[in-house]
Amino acid sequence: MVQKVAKRFYDSLVAGTILAAQCNDCGNWTFPPVTACRECGSRNIEMKEISGEGTVYFYSTSILPPKKFAEYSPYAYGLIELKEGPAFMTMVEGLDASTPEKIAEGNKRLPLPVKAEVIERAGMNVVCFRISE
């Protein structure tokens, strides 16, 4: 079941569609989608397309990026909250993460609206958030 959710998520990314799980019991969204609601633990969830719209509240740099993303480092790694509710740390495009000074300056401009997009990184389709001001 876990694999099934992950497979649907990644298959939909190929088509440029970003899915999250919405709970049929409490209505909360979980992203990335998993087999149970993060809020109430219910397994009565449904995979639905999300708007991709959200807000970035702060960011830092990829101090210890996963090996497969090392060649893209340093990249901005920030706290995103989706319009639908879930919040998580992820890659953000459009923010300067090259030096501690740039990061400090960049954070002064936050929060800013972001929009999700599907990009290719390390041969995989990943969800990335781009500043949409």
Residue ranges binding Zn ion (CB under 5 A): 23, 25-26, 28, 37, 39-40, 42
Instruction: Give me the least distance between CB of 24 and Zn ion, in Å please.
Output: 8
Rank residues 81 and 117 by Cβ distance to Zn ion and give the closer one.
81
d(CA 110, CA 56): 7
Rank residues 11 and 25 by Cβ distance to Zn ion and give the closer one.
25
Instruction: Give me the least distance between CB of 85 and Zn ion, in Å please.
Output: 11
Rank residues 39 and 93 by Cβ distance to Zn ion and give the closer one.
39
Encode 67-94: b = buried (16+ Cβ within 10 Å), e = exposed. Answer: eebeeeebbbbbbbebebbbeeebbbee
Phi, psi dihedrals of residue 72, rounded to the nearest 5°: -95, -5
Rank residues 29 and 129 by Cβ distance to Zn ion and give the closer one.
29
Instruction: Give me the least distance between CB of 133 and Zn ion, in Å please.
Output: 33
Instruction: Give me the least distance between CB of 94 and Zn ion, in Å please.
Output: 33
The residues with which 87 forms a beta bridge, in sequence order, are: 81
Helix (H/G/I), strand (E/B), else coil: 88? strand
